[in-house]
């Protein structure tokens, strides 16, 4: 849940969110995708693209000897394979996947993950509990979670507004109901 205020500032065409008394109850543990599409690093890019299309995902985890070795994304496909004119069936994932991946602990808050993504200009983070790989969290996941929390805050504000309006209408109704008696009393006092 978002509590507090935040501001935006633009520097060199980039917009930065600045925390001002901002707390988030959003936790990465609630957002991590545990069912991950993965492939061994010696598989070719054609196999990876087919698997990504089959599962309707924009990335897959590249595995080497049972451990995470990298991440292959649609962006890697375009920039490192298709753009340079390489044959996807002859290029292996190990040669074109993104390595040196960023990660967050599973108990991280959403704001910390967003700040890390912003600082490193990335869209996905690996999530670990200790040394155990749990899955991925994406910028889209964070945006949806924050938008959902924002809607929840708006709902609370709307309920409070509706209650305030109902009380005001009730007071006006009571005053209108009492108006004839108040006019009679005013008339008697003015005599």
pLDDT tens column, 60-89: 999 999 999 999 999 999 999 999 999 999
Domain 26-138 has CATH 3.10.580.10: yes
75 close to 83: Cβ distance less than 8 angstroms: no
Q: How confident is the model at residue 36 (pLDDT cuts 50, 70, 90)?
A: confident
pLDDT score for 39: 96
Per-residue pLDDT tens for 133-188? 999 998 888 888 877 766 555 666 677 778 888 888 888 888 788 878 877 877 88
Q: Measured between alpha carbons, how far is 97 from 50 in angstroms, rounded to an integer? A: 16
pLDDT score for 35: 76
SS (H, E, C) 68-108: EEEEEEHHHHHHHHHCCCCCCCCCEHHHHCECCCCEEECCC
Q: Measured between alpha carbons, how far is 21 from 19 in angstroms, rounded to an integer? A: 6
Question: Domains of the chain: which residue ranges?
Answer: 26-138
Q: Measured between alpha carbons, how far is 48 from 74 in angstroms, rounded to an integer? A: 10
**Which distant-in-sequence residues (6+ apart) come within 8 Å of 34 by Cβ?**
134, 135
Beta bridge partners of 6: 19
Q: How confident is the model at residue 14 (pLDDT cuts 50, 70, 90)?
A: low
């Amino acid at each position: 849940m978002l509590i507090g205020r935040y501001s935006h500032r633009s520097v060199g065409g980039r917009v930065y969110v600045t925390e001002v008394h901002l707390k988030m109850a959003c936790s990465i543990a609630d957002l991590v995708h545990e069912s991950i599409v993965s492939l061994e690093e010696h598989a070719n890019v054609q196999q990876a693209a087919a698997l990504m299309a089959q599962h309707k995902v924009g990335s897959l985890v590249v595995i080497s000897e049972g451990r995470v070795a990298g991440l292959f994304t649609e962006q890697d496909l375009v920039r490192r394979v298709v753009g340079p004119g390489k044959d996807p069936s002859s290029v292996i994932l190990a040669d074109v996947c993104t390595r040196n991946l960023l990660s967050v602990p599973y108990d991280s808050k959403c704001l910390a993950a967003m700040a890390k993504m912003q600082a490193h200009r990335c869209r996905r983070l690996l999530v670990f509990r200790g040394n155990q790989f749990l899955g991925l969290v994406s910028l889209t996941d964070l945006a949806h979670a924050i938008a959902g929390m924002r809607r929840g805050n708006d709902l609370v504000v709307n309920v409070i507004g509706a209650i305030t309006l109902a009380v005001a209408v009730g007071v006006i109704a009571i005053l209108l109901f009492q108006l004839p008696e108040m006019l009679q009393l005013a008339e008697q006092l003015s005599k």
